[in-house]
Amino acid sequence: MTGTESPARTVLIAPDCFGDSLTAVQAAQSIAQGWRTSRPGDTLTLAPQSDGGPGFVEVLATRLGEVRTLTVSGPLDVDVEAQWVLDSDPPVTAYIECAQACGLALLGGPPTVRTALDAHSRGVGQLIAAAHAAGAGRIVVGLGGSGSTDGGRGMVEALGGLSGARELLDGVELIAASDVEHPLLGPMGAASVFGPQKGADTETVAVLEQRLTAWAEELDAAAGRRVSDDPGAGAAGGIGAALLALGGRRESGAAIIAEHTGLSNDVAAADLVITGEGRFDDQSLHGKVVSALAAGARSHHIPVLVLAGQVTLGEPALQAAGIESAHSLTEHAGSVEKAIEDAANQLTGLATEVAAGWQ
């Protein structure tokens, strides 16, 4: 039986972004295009996802609220246009994405030692201030994909310093949307784990750690407890710690998106779930979009396929996570370079191939 002859199914397509190559919305569209080529009779539901990183605002904008644009300071002081969402339904809620203001993609080129040292989070503070001025009583900040490792100092300074920011946001429900569980400091902290991804060499990681250690003392003192040790404090170069010090709390970014996109209902109605991300590895199975989807699908006995830029997990890990199979965009394209440069077309081709072979 060929792909086009097999019974029509309801397919939920719910990927995260593919790094800087494709947003979650673009990835969902590419997968859908390829799937339709091989299985035109299937009913497709597109529900792009995010764990708080790049694409957080874009995904939410497809389902709720009003998209607003603000000119803010980028990670290296060049102004950037940042989008955020204001949902006027009570309680009035603003959704902000730190990658819109200090993301790696805004560095103007590949990250370097210099950008690792200089990048800041000032623009995130400017977005929070705008949300507060617009009357938001609840501000949700999506964390991930940042090019900065300043512990949120730039953000706090833009809000008037620690005391000024805490006073400004008193009474505001502040939420750090992230699935990163790393603390601010130490071998599993923001500088050591994420610094190298942002251009930092060994010496630079040590400098960043020293800066964060001094800043952590101020954050902990302002909060009256050691927020720097909290899970998620190291998210987005330490912006997580600063939000916690300002009275915020951490929630799962993937769960927030899932709630607002009606993901549980979509999963329950599907015969197959397709998800994906830039790199499918061990971290993907710990609080990320893929793991959340797999868990939800398992309870309904629905198979899950993963299409990812790169796949490093073997069959035992896939089976344990309840994933039927995982497929690499890099292997399909023949090289990492082609998978990145021609991501949309290659993902469409991979989806076409996978659909043709799926029963």
pLDDT the model gives residue 73: 98
Tens-digit pLDDT profile for residues 159-177: 999 999 999 999 999 999 9
pLDDT band at 287 (very low <50, low <70, confident <90, very high): low
Contact 175, 248 (CB under 8 A): yes
Where are the chain's structural domains?
10-49+261-357, 56-254
CA 293, chain centre distance (Å): 15
Query: Do 10-49+261-357 and 56-254 have matching folds?
Result: no
- The pLDDT, as a whole number, for residue 3 is 44
Q: Can you give the pLDDT at residue 5?
A: 58
Other CB atoms within a 10 A radius of the CB of residue 213 amount to 16
Q: Which residues of 32-46 are buried (b: 16+ CB within 10 A; e: fewer)?
A: bbbbbbbbeebebbb
Distances in Å between the Cα of 202 and the Cα atoms of 116, 163, 199, 208 are 12, 34, 10, 10
Distances, alpha carbon 339 to alpha carbons 308, 310, 336, in Å: 10, 9, 5
State which CATH number among 3.40.50.10350, 3.30.160.270, 3.40.640.10, 1.10.150.120 fits the domain covering 10-49+261-357: 3.40.50.10350
Residue 324 in contact with residue 331, Cβ under 8 Å? Answer: no
Report the mean per-residue pLDDT for the chain. 94
How much is the pTM? 0.87
Residue 42, CB-side half-sphere exposure with 13 Å CA sphere? 30
What amino acid occupies position 212?
L
**Residue 294 pLDDT exceeds 80:** yes
CATH fold of the domain at 56-254: Glycerate kinase, domain 2 (3.90.1510)
